[in-house]
Amino acid sequence: MSANESNSSNGGSGAIQLQQSRRLPDFIQSVNLKYVKLGYHYLITHLLKLCLVPLMAVIIVEASRMNPDDVHQLWLHLKYNLVTVITCSAVLVFGSTICIMSRPSSVYLVDYACYRAPDHLRVKFHQFMEHSKLTGDFDESSLEFQRKILERSGLGEETYVPEAMHYVPPRPSMAAARKEAEDVMFGALDMLFKNTNVKPKDIGILVVNCSLFNPTPSLSAMIINKYKLRGNIRSFNLGGMGCSAGVIAVDLAKDLLQVHRNTYAVVVSTENITQNWYFGNKKSMLIPNCLFRVGGAAVLLSNKAVDRRRSKYMLVHVVRTHKGADDKAFNCVYQEHDDQGKTGVSLSKDLMAIAGGALKTNITTLGPLVLPISEQLLFFATLVSKKLLNAKVKPYIPDFKLAFDHFCIHAGGRAVIDELEKNLQLLPVHVEASRMTLHRFGNTSSSSIWYELAYTEAKGRMQKGNRVWQIAFGSGFKCNSAVWEALRNVKPSVNSPWEDCIHR
């Protein structure tokens, strides 16, 4: 939510506290050396490969200087020295085998599909407020608080809420929650299978993430039953992991694709609203009602080399940051009962400060993996001068625009997008996809980063070689990043959620 979303004239003190806390700390001025070490650890793990580069360069240079006589003498030496030939051959074969076997399989994003709800599920602001009033569960202060949040949230008039919330009074039953889950997941999967011509029986790995709705049988079992997936499928159901669980699901699928060769993995990211609407008057629990909306995405990943030619992207990096060891971070997004025994998700006043700390750790870990060497050297030199030599120098903030062409910032609220735009020194075009996703679809939780990627494609901006940074926050508290590289000039898929903005 934005810095001004909580400026309510009624219920003043709680609203003012929320307003003052809805800003990210200026982490630009407080980057710690220990976070940078995490990123350089990734590079050190590949130290052997890096050391072989200059060795190969020296061999190539020396070979280029050899004349025909030198080549003839080397041939004679090898011809009459069988031990040397066998030893060199064995070392070459062994080294090549180790290199090939240890090299991770490339993970390709063949295609993905985002669910777009039917028009009759749209909710305009006046409908939202009218229904909230008619339920009789909210007092005047809470109604005014919700109205202010809606006005300043960044959401538009075309977002969707589940069918159960369109009734007066609402009907949040288990059957209604299952229907919402089925509509979203099956709707996205139907489009994905149709667009990729992949048969459900070909899927070897299934990862589903939904934070607040975890029925029995699981959501992954619902998908297996619907599409009659094969009996030996590796299926996983991730719950309670918040809005950044989509990146976690991709990371899990990536690791599984390293073990199980020549197969497909499907990742389904969604959230369920029907049984998680809050009907109380605690201000910190009312915010999710105003921001979260219906949405979901299905992603098809492959480790088959033959799929590279038809895939949209290749996965380059995944960096995950977890602050759950800290009690404040653990409790800042917390599902609980209010004083009246009504269940909701409470957002702590420390949320933005904790998000800033998690973000700082994540980007300083990611930086050494993606930034040009010139940016890394400037950043590292000023950091060492400041931290070790106590020099009074202004911290150099790497320009992430040199590492990424497109940014998919989780559309959690206007404040998060505003603050990331300022802290990372991004241009309005870099956060356009996030703002438009928030406006058109609201906060769709872990699937929002896929709506943002689809927006970039719909605008015709994704060119071959472009790099995309997906970054999301989640309860726990977590900040996770995924980096993708476009394998071709990417056009929007059939039935893109942004069909109405294509060619504009």
Which residue is listed with tokens 């241009």? 427
**Number of residues written out for the chain:** 504
Catalytic residue status for 406 = yes
Residue 452: which H helix or E strand, with range?
helix 448-458
Contact assessment for residue 439 and residue 411, using Cβ atoms and an 8 Å cutoff = no
Of the candidates 4, 439, 495, 501, the residue annotated as catalytic is 439
Q: Judging by beta carbons within 10 Å of its beta carbon (0-12, 13-18, 19+), is residue 361 exposed, middle or buried? A: buried
Of the candidates 281, 322, 362, 479, the residue annotated as catalytic is 322
CA distances from 285 to 258, 346, 413 (A): 41, 5, 15
Catalytic residue status for 243 = yes
Count of alpha carbons within 13 Å of 391, Cβ hemisphere only?
12
Distance CA 200, CA 223 (A): 10
Distance CA 368, CA 388 (A): 20
- The dihedral through the CA atoms of 198, 204, 210, 213 has a sign that is positive
Distance CA 490, CA 406 (A): 13
Angle at 28 between CA 364 and CA 152, to 5 degrees: 110
| DSSP 8-state class, residue 345 | E
Distance CA 85, CA 109 (A): 44
Catalytic residue status for 362 = no
The DSSP string of 361-378 is: HHHHHHHHHHS-HHHHHH
CA distances from 449 to 154, 244, 255, 406 (A): 16, 9, 21, 12
Q: Judging by beta carbons within 10 Å of its beta carbon (0-12, 13-18, 19+), is residue 125 exposed, middle or buried? A: middle
Of the candidates 276, 406, 408, 466, the residue annotated as catalytic is 406
Catalytic residue status for 72 = no
Distance CA 303, CA 361 (A): 30
- Terminal Cα distance for the chain, rounded: 28
Token pair in block for residue 378: 């400037």
Amino acid residing at 347: L
Distance CA 317, CA 59 (A): 31
Catalytic residue status for 322 = yes
Measured in whole angstroms, the distance separating CA 494 from the mean position of its chain's CA atoms is 23
Q: Judging by beta carbons within 10 Å of its beta carbon (0-12, 13-18, 19+), is residue 28 exposed, middle or buried? A: middle
Contact assessment for residue 165 and residue 131, using Cβ atoms and an 8 Å cutoff = yes
Please list, in sequence order, all residues whose beta carbon lies within 8 angstroms of the beta carbon of residue 406, skipping any fewer than 6 positions away: 430, 433, 453, 456, 461, 462, 466, 467, 468, 469
Of the candidates 237, 272, 410, 480, the residue annotated as catalytic is 410
Amino acid residing at 293: R
Positions annotated as catalytic residues are 243, 322, 406, 410, 439, 443
